Amino acid sequence: MDTMTKNMLTGSALLASLMLTTGCDLFKKKDTLAPQATETSAKSGISLCSINGESAITEGEYKRNLGQMLQANPYFKGASAESLPNELKRRFLEQLAMQAVIEKFSDQNGIENDPEFIKIYGELKDQVKRSIKVQLFEKRIYDGIKVADNDITKYYTENKDRFVKVAGGVLAMGVRFENEAQANAFLAKAKQNVEDFEKVAKADKAGKFRDFGRVSKEVRGGFQMEVVPTPIKDSVLGMTKLPSVDKIKTGKEFWVVKAWDKKDTVLFAVDEVKTHIEAMLKNNQFKDVIEKRMEELKKEMKVVVNEDYFKDAKVSPESATEGVQATQVATNNKPAAAPAGATAA
């Protein structure tokens, strides 16, 4: 597709968003867009815009275009047509009406017989056909992949920790010290003031306080592994009597940690995430299935790729001679140095 065609497509795609944001009213005469009282058909609904007495935009066409715009525009992704304010929906109808006017004008002036229109239309028609064929091919392969219930259950059982509904674990906070003597001194104070651990910890100038939040065995997004050192995590989760204060060594550092308020993690039931797991397993299988099918088709159709086209071009004797002659002309017919290995004619 040439640059002009791409620009035309880009312009038409952006037209809707521009119309919705500029605030301009292209049609000052409101009767231009006045809905017609007559029904066009049960499928299309009433007419929302007429041009020269003929219906140009039906309710069905308007709703279909509005739905497509909502899906394509990231600012409206997930919104429903009903949730949009009437002013916004009205301006979208104006945008469609402007397109209808341009289309009507173009038809009246025989645009479909224009050589440039014929060229662009032919290119786009071929691309749309090709795209639809590929999409349907992939869709039918994807739809043909069946995931057994026992595979879903197996994946769920092996990956339960990924399906956390309510995070459980133990609340924990701690103070880091550079040497064990400082940690032991603070530990003695902390055990006498368990309830005021945070206050005592922040007042101690030798240590550095950190609130770990709720520590659990499930890792959510990898964040917990960065915040909670593994020795602290294992120690906190292993405590049987809470609240509790303990000293923990992590590498060359020493921590005094308080743990309390243990809660069990609540997981999603397998039925709650069945659809999600099924889609994920289908996606995993899709790549292998389609690659296998493509290999089969390539063999059936004896596909041969011209690999020489992608190799570095080699200078032929003919092209070398042509190059010498061109150089001689460019230098007022002064003899050019012959290429290495060249022989005189």
- Per the CB < 8 A criterion, the answer to whether 259 and 236 are in contact is yes
- Per the CB < 8 A criterion, the answer to whether 100 and 49 are in contact is yes
The reply to whether 122 falls in a domain is no
The reply to whether 14 falls in a domain is yes
Looking at residue 131, what is its pLDDT? Answer: 95
7-56 pLDDT tens trace? 444 444 434 443 444 334 444 444 444 444 444 444 468 999 999 988 98
| Residue where a domain stops, chosen among 267, 289, 316 | 267
The reply to whether 85 falls in a domain is yes
The reply to whether 134 falls in a domain is no
Q: What is the CA radius of gyration of the chain?
A: 36
pTM of the model: 0.52
Assess whether 105 and 7 both reside in one domain. yes
| Residue where a domain stops, chosen among 267, 295, 324 | 267
Assess whether 175 and 102 both reside in one domain. no
Looking at residue 302, what is its pLDDT? Answer: 84
- Distance CA(285)–CA(322), nearest Å, equals 55
Looking at residue 309, what is its pLDDT? Answer: 84
Count of structural domains, the chain: 2
DSSP 330: H
Question: What CATH number should be reported for the domain holding residue 222?
Answer: 3.10.50
Assess whether 171 and 257 both reside in one domain. yes
The reply to whether 300 falls in a domain is no
Looking at residue 228, what is its pLDDT? Answer: 85
Assess whether 8 and 95 both reside in one domain. yes
φ and ψ at residue 236, rounded to 5 degrees: -65, -45
58 sits in which H/E element: strand 54-58
**Whole-Å CA distances, 115 to 49, 112, 119, 122:** 31, 8, 6, 11
pLDDT category at 146 given cuts 50, 70, 90 is very high
182-219 pLDDT tens trace? 999 999 999 998 999 999 999 988 899 999 999 887 65
pLDDT category at 312 given cuts 50, 70, 90 is confident
The reply to whether 337 falls in a domain is no
222: three-class secondary structure by DSSP: coil
The reply to whether 283 falls in a domain is no
Assess whether 181 and 263 both reside in one domain. yes
Express as a percent the part of the chain with pLDDT over 70.
Answer: 74
The reply to whether 218 falls in a domain is yes
Assess whether 105 and 168 both reside in one domain. no
Higher pLDDT, 225 or 289: 289
Residue 85 lies in domain: 3-109
- If phi > 0 it is left, if psi is from -120 to 50 it is alpha, else beta; for residue 58 that is beta
- Distance CA(283)–CA(277), nearest Å, equals 10
pLDDT category at 222 given cuts 50, 70, 90 is very low
Assess whether 7 and 92 both reside in one domain. yes
Tell me what the pLDDT averaged over the chain comes to: 79
**Dihedral angle over CA of 238, 240, 245, 249, nearest 10:** -20
Q: Residue 153 above 50 pLDDT? A: yes
| Residue where a domain stops, chosen among 109, 129, 153 | 109
